[in-house]
Amino acid sequence: MPVITYREAVTQALTEALDSDERVFIMGEDVGGYGGSYAVTKGMLAKYGPKRIRETPIAESVFVGAGAGAAMAGLKPVVEIMTINFSILAMDQIVNHAAKVRYMSGGQLSSGVIMRTVTGGGAGLAATHSQSLEPWYAHVPGIWVVTPATPYDALGLLREAFTKDDPVLFSEHALIYRLRGEVPEEHYTVPFGQAAISRRGSDVTLVAYSRMVHVALDAAQMLANQGVEAEVIDLRTLRPLDMETVFQSVRKTNRVAVVEEAWRTGGFAAEIASQIQEACFDYLDGPVARIGGEDVPQPYAINLERATIPDAKKVVNELAKVIGLKVTA
């Protein structure tokens, strides 16, 4: 099977769409000759020309709103929001409009704009450039929120996004663009709302999404060294959300922790924990642990930043502290 990077997976899905569907065009800041801030659209301007690879002024509100508008007119725009932090400038367009077009028109219109963006911290970019804001968007009915953790999923989920008539927030994690992984030669897609079991285990369930899947896998390795087998579940999409896979795992392991990079208070882990206790109360041998980012704006100094983002050690320590597992980091 071919091995490609996470970045190449995103690029490939975009390229396929540009090749196969003339309604598709890309717009955003520096997406042209520059190739995008994270080099995802590199070479596309030369290949597809300025009509389909459109560089915009720094004006998130209008290029996201215009993406929504062009989608209402029947095109399939992909807007690149340089990072999820700047999606806030377009939040009115995303939340009040793109997400509600269908509902507010009684089903007459849809706005299937794909909003690609980059999430997460760890690159030393401080408070306004390091946030994980996907949970905000997952709160909103009318928009799909996609959070791939692997090249396989990045390709499969982005292909799937092109089949949707609703807006999709496609959130790529800044730190895993170079991550390599196998992808099959033959065409496949990854349906929205279907979690993946990234590692099988019987003693404890770790639920995660985006880069935290890899942190959970690292933690699982530390646990395995101490005789505890963790099952790691990658949610893949936050909306739609596949809780059934999580419930099945919890009914087997009876212990569960949710790991996310977003701030712990009011994060998406709270939603998941809540659904678990509703559905699996009798199966639980301990509280549902929530492991998230520290409730603080992301600091710049590297040692401080590291202290705010969950790592495998923190996961293991929290499992000991909250659930009472006899493990140490």
Partner 1 sequence: MAQANSKQQSRGGIQLPPGLTDEDLLDLYGTMVLSRAIDERVWMLNRQGKAALVASAQGHEAAQLGTLWALRKHAPEFFCFAYYRDLALWVGQGLSARDVLLGYTAKEGEPISGARQFPMHGAAMRLKVMNLSNVVAAHVTHAVGWALASKLRNQVNVAACFFGDGAASQGEVHESMNFAAVQRLPVVFFVENNRYAISLPIRKQMAIERVAQRAQAYGMPGVTVDGTDVLAVYGAAAEAVQRAVKGGGPSLVEFDVERYLPHTSDDDDSRYRDRAEVEAGRLRDPLKRLQEWLSRSGVLTDEHDAALRRQAKREVDEATEYAEAAPYPDAGDLLEHVHAPR
| Chain residues 113-142 in contact with partner 1, contact rule CB under 8 A | 124-129
Judged by beta carbon distances under 5 to 8 A according to partner kind, the member of ligand TPP, partner 1, none in contact with residue 142 is: none
Judged by beta carbon distances under 5 to 8 A according to partner kind, the member of partner 1, ligand TPP, none in contact with residue 34 is: partner 1
d(C-alpha 301, C-alpha 261), whole Å: 18
CB of 58 to partner 1, least distance (A): 5
Q: What is the largest CA-CA distance in the chain?
A: 60
Residue 193 lies near partner 1 (rule: CB under 8 A): no
Active site residue 129: yes
| Chain residues 207-266 in contact with partner 1, contact rule CB under 8 A | none
In degrees and rounded to multiples of 5, residue 31 shows phi and psi of -85, -5
Q: Are the beta carbons of 84 and 131 closer than 8 angstroms?
A: yes
Catalytic residue among 8, 29, 80, 129: 129
| Burial of 33 from C-beta contacts in 10 A (0-12 / 13-18 / 19+) | middle
3-state SS, residue 248: helix
Total number of residues shown for the chain: 329
Interface with partner 1 (CB under 8 A), residue from 35, 67, 122, 293: 35
Residue 108 lies near partner 1 (rule: CB under 8 A): no
Task: Give the interface segment with partner 1, choosing from 12-20, 25-33, 110-118, 200-208 (CB under 8 A).
Answer: 25-33
Contacts of 159 (CB under 8 A, 6+ apart): 13, 16, 17, 187, 188, 189, 190
| Chain residues 87-116 in contact with ligand TPP, contact rule CB under 6 A | 89
Looking at residue 211, the DSSP 8-state letter turns out to be: T
Q: Among candidates 172, 115, 117, which has minimal Cα distance to 144?
A: 115
Nearer to ligand TPP, 125 or 322 (CB): 125
CB of 22 to partner 1, least distance (A): 24
d(C-alpha 71, C-alpha 324), whole Å: 51
Strands 289-293 and 180-182, bridge-based pairing: unpaired
Orientation angle between helical segments 6-20 and 151-161, nearest 10 degrees: 30
Amino acid at position 180, single letter? R
Residue 294 lies near partner 1 (rule: CB under 8 A): yes
CB of 311 to partner 1, least distance (A): 14
Active site residue 244: no
Number of residues interacting with ligand TPP: please give it, by CB under 6 A.
Answer: 6
Per-residue contact string for residues 11-50; x = within reach of ligand TPP by CB under 6 A: ------------------x---------------------
| Chain residues 74-103 in contact with partner 1, contact rule CB under 8 A | 85-86, 88-89
3-state SS, residue 206: strand
Residues within the interface to partner 1 (CB under 8 A)? 29-30, 32-35, 37, 55, 57-59, 61-62, 85-86, 88-89, 124-129, 294-297, 299-304, 307-308
Active-site residues, by number, are 60, 129
